[in-house]
Amino acid sequence: MPIYFHEDQKVFHLQSNKVSYIFNVLENNQLGHLYFGKRLIDRDDFNQLFYVEETPNTCFVTGKSNHFSLDLIKQEYPSYGTTDFREPAHQITQENGSRITDFKYIDHIIFKGKRKLAGLPATYVEDNHEATTVEVRLFDQEMGTELTLSYTLFEETAVIARSAHYHNKGDQTLQLNRVMSASFDLNDHQFDLHQLSGSWARERHMKKRRLTAGIQSVASTRGTSSAQHNPFIALSRPDATEHHGEVFGLNLVYSGNFLAQVEVDHYDKARVMIGIHPFDFNWQLKPGEQFQTPEVVMIYSAQGFNGMSQAYHRLYRNRLARGQWRDRLRPVLINNWEGTYFDFTEAKIIEMAKAAKQCGVELFVLDDGWFGKRDDDTTSLGDWFVNRRKLPQGISGLAQSIHDLGMKFGLWFEPEMVSPISDLYQAHPDWVIQVPNRVKSHGRHQYVLDFSRDDVVDYLYQVMADVLSGASIDYVKWDMNRYMTEIGSFQLPVDQQQELPHRYILGVYRLYDRLIETFPNVLFESCASGGARFDPGMLYYAPQAWTSDNTDAVERLFIQHGTSMVYPLSMMGAHVSAVPNHQTGRITSLEVRAAVAYFGMLGYELDITTLSDQEKQQIANQIHFYKANQAFIQTGQFSRLISPFVDGGNQVSWQILSEDKSQLLVGYYQILSRPNPVLRRVQLVDLDPESCYQLAGTDQHVYGDQLMEVGIEIDRYTNRSGTHDFQAHLFKLNRI
């Protein structure tokens, strides 16, 4: 068993061949944290890992030895108010007003496999031998409440998935004010904190700061995980690089408000925690009720950031994504959004599809504007009935025409929203998130539907199921285009209003679950104004996500680079769009745009009918190249070689290596040209040093060790073309 329990010292040891995670039962029967990091040999005696320095100005737990202060002890899931002055993992208000809790160890079970999390997305196993779980049961006598901390160790990827579960077995109603998914304390604070932050059209840029005394955090209180901050943080030793050094990653499998924080205390220890944001959160737990926190996926890498990312990629590709599309090659798509926006007719769509088909595109996606009276963004969300003026044959007729061309057909929805000008809103004004007698703000002229209500979720299921079963639809783009304001529900009781954001997300998950179950063949792509909900929660339901509304190739270098910190290429939608680019006005060549989009799930998003024959031929060649290599692009090992987030950000390089190391694709990008440039060179990684690789399309041969130690000298193969901005050079190498 890779999870050991040492009865004498009451120590738990989760051990893979790369990592150890060790915690114990303290003398007050709460849980202490001992170690998270590089694998340690399992021993009966872990006393060495527990040391408490006697310090002045400390409070001690009554009745215990004079050394026993929780302020000085590393903890596993700390409580509020008893000698520990750092922020706790949980806080629970009881009927007498007390917020003091005391969850003591009762027992535990260790088993092969992993349980599902009720109502929530989570990583999973297909075979029980893939992972081992320990569930540790703790009990607070005063409240009569059970807390179960669950840890699953995925042996192959050395990933630990954690969550907490509360069960009120007492007779009073509890208020869960704060229930984080995980917490642990590190011995020191010599770390950089990394985050993926930005905004609409600038999602998941990499930011870092050195830890210092106090609390540093990233969070969302917008109702979704957000474009502003991804539910992810990493801590790295300052000398860590992409390929070497220690990195810890935490990623919350959740799509709503979250908090990820590190608190550096007065002894320079660092407390790390992540979970649902406690701000404006309160959950009433009545006698007999249970509450499950979302899961956090924790990774320790001694092989730098790429080591961490590759473990996330592997796990998410294989054991977060589900359904038949998990392992199938994704269709190259064309989406009409940037090509036509709302201004299309059936004839135009078919004309675009025909031209796309000739280039080898496999799926046509009809975006926003096909329903109700929607000719701009002011009306009709919620009225999911085809607009016959635009599409006289209806969706079924159009889908048939697209299929007749030999293509798949996909359709856009934004199920969680309603326009004030819509039949749905007229019929159900109470279905909108709002607070009585207060302003009802709108964003993009729309309101957020109250997905905490079963009747709303049931209605959406029915209308979407009607559309999906009434036509031959292979793909759904599920969009979501505004954050929550005036958070209130007409259905929830007054004292449960702060449950709304979490209940909302549970409602979204319920709708996804039902649709996936009814339509298992449909490929879902999630989207939220581009990448405002690019999180593992969504990716459990939809195996790919629209990475960003920003389709500019240069901007995409930053966005896709940052996104790859956690999420695999198989989950990133990447489209070639028209120039001048609609978000930045920049003109880049078709070649550069494709060379960036190859590092993701390729699509086109432009009016292909307006392109010249030469451009269409170029697209046909691009799709041919992509399809020939897609199998390893989708499943191979991705590495970041040169980052745009350092050294002025003028160069970027990425590598994808097939599982068997027999083929690889390297992308090298230079944003601006420089006069008399230095020799441009990129060193590859993880190749077989003995093997010889041939540069496709040439008779050049290079050995694996030389590609890694010396690298590819870009100008040797590209005739020193450093004279224009926005360059991309692709190198496909095959082992011979």
Interface ranges with ligand DGJ (CB under 6 A): 337, 367-368, 412, 479, 481, 527, 529-530, 546, 549
Q: Nearest distance from residue 710's CB to ligand DGJ, in Å?
A: 42
140/525 with CB nearer ligand DGJ: 525
Residue 276 near residue 254, CB atoms below 8 Å: yes
Mind giving me the DSSP string for 164-223? Answer: EEEEE-SSS-EEEEEEEEEEEEES----EEEEEE--TTS--EEEEEE--SEEEEEEE-SS
> Considering only CA atoms, which of 578, 546, 587, 558 is closest in space to residue 202?
558
Q: Nearest distance from residue 605's CB to ligand DGJ, in Å?
A: 8
DSSP 634: H
When computed from its CA atoms, the radius of gyration of the chain, rounded to whole angstroms, is: 27
391/707 with CB nearer ligand DGJ: 391
Q: Which single residue brings its beta carbon nearest to ligand DGJ?
A: 368
Amino acid identity at 145 = T
Q: Nearest distance from residue 326's CB to ligand DGJ, in Å?
A: 23
49/601 with CB nearer ligand DGJ: 601
Neighbours of 63 (CB within 10 A): 7
Residue 335 near residue 577, CB atoms below 8 Å: no
The phi-psi region of residue 585 (left if phi > 0; otherwise alpha if psi is between -120 and 50; otherwise beta) is left
186/201 with CB nearer ligand DGJ: 201
Q: Which of 84, 474, 535, 549 is catalytic?
A: 549
> What does the block give as tokens for 719?
């005739």
Q: Is 368 a catalytic residue?
A: no
146/368 with CB nearer ligand DGJ: 368
Q: Which of 71, 265, 368, 479 is catalytic?
A: 479
> What does the block give as tokens for 384?
């999911």
Q: What CA–CA distance (Å, rounded) separates 13 from 43?
A: 9
Neighbours of 715 (CB within 10 A): 16
Q: What CA–CA distance (Å, rounded) separates 14 from 12?
A: 7
337/425 with CB nearer ligand DGJ: 337
Q: Is 686 a catalytic residue?
A: no
Q: How do beta strands 523-526 and 475-478 pair? A: parallel
Q: Nearest distance from residue 453's CB to ligand DGJ, in Å?
A: 24
Residues in CB range of 634: below 8 A, 6 or more apart = 329, 330, 569, 570, 601
Q: Nearest distance from residue 412's CB to ligand DGJ, in Å?
A: 6
Residue 213 near residue 262, CB atoms below 8 Å: no
Q: Nearest distance from residue 368's CB to ligand DGJ, in Å?
A: 4
Q: Nearest distance from residue 466's CB to ligand DGJ, in Å?
A: 21
130/549 with CB nearer ligand DGJ: 549
Q: What CA–CA distance (Å, rounded) separates 475 from 366?
A: 10
180/527 with CB nearer ligand DGJ: 527
Q: What CA–CA distance (Å, rounded) separates 430 from 433?
A: 8
Residues in CB range of 639: below 8 A, 6 or more apart = 242, 243, 306, 310, 654, 655, 656, 657, 685, 686
Q: Nearest distance from residue 548's CB to ligand DGJ, in Å?
A: 8
Q: List alpha helices for 187-333, DSSP H.
A: 304-319
Residues annotated as part of the active site: 479, 549
